[in-house]
Homo-oligomer: A and B are copies of this chain.
Amino acid sequence: MYYIGIDLGGTNVAAGIVNEKGEILAKTSAPTPKDGAEAVIDVMCSVSEKLLKDMKLSSLDIAGLGAGCPGIVDNNDGVIRHLSNLGMTGVNLRKELSERLGIKKISIENDANCAAMAEYKFYGNNSKSFIFITLGTGVGGGIILDSKVYSGFNGAGSEIGHLIIEGDGLECSCGCKGCWEQYASVTALCNFTKEAILKNPDSLMNKWVEENGEVNGRCAFDCAKKGDKAAKQVVDLYIKYIGVGITSIINVFQPQKIVIGGGISKEGDYLLNPLKEQVYSCKYNNYVEKCSLEIAKLFNDAGIIGAAFCAM
């Protein structure tokens, strides 16, 4: 059986032909147009048609197509509820793709849900409940319950970056204050790093920035590992904030497995070990089997594979 997985990103539309094992058999991509929904749908169709041609397949050979999109999407009716920066708000993407490509089974999911599904299928060990957290420019998440994406009755759920962790905290783009995203994203880490650099002119982080051009998510981690005290403080604070959100998630979901992805997850055990210590210290974990906390294993292709899995 062949499936198409499309990962609609802000920069590129990546797509692949995927088999039922989640193996990518062919892959292509094209820049994401910035001039409205029709142009984006054109590209989604053209990459799909290119893949069919490359593999000498027709749309009749495709058992299902999955599209992972940023923003709020509702797989109940296939409509994109909010994706304003690509001009896609209100578009019935399922209908458009189905009519244009002649493929009946089309799944439209949030991109973090797709990544979650890919991690789940490969490394989830059939967990009854599985949560994927991505720490990137923002904080996103995907919730898989009983092998299915959970995204609420209206498709807008699993916005775990908008758990409020500081009631009167930093302003968030969602209109609330103190959302987890404002403390646990790479953007937040960079802000904490910049503040610490200004306050600590002797910190190794200053030299690091001179050598590397600009502050990014690695700066504080790299310097902390070299023993820099100010950098260690930044990393400790950042990890503490991550842990606060994960503790909330565990207390509410007690998922069998939580997997952390996104750029910061490359820090591996340096991130994971203090996080485990923090989140397992909540006493509820003393009485029950503990939720397993792990680093994500799939990276670049998770979007394509997960989108295809969602269509299976």
Contacts and interface: CB of A to CB of B under 8 A. Distances in A.
Interface of A: 72, 74, 81-82, 89, 127-129, 143, 145, 150-160, 162-167, 169, 173-176, 178, 183, 240-241, 244-245, 247-249, 251-256, 281-284, 286-289, 291
Contacts of A244: 164, 167, 178
Given A152-B129, A166-B167, A254 B284 contact: no
A81, A288, A289: most-surrounded residue (chain B CB, <10 A): A288
29 contacts: A72-B284, A74-B288, A82-B284, A82-B287, A82-B288, A127-B153, A128-B153, A129-B153, A152-B255, A153-B254, A153-B255, A153-B256, A154-B291, A155-B254, A155-B288, A156-B288, A157-B253, A159-B284, A160-B251, A162-B251, A162-B252, A164-B165, A164-B244, A166-B167, A167-B183, A167-B241, A173-B283, A174-B282, A176-B247
A251 B175 contact: no
A160 B210 CA distance: 46
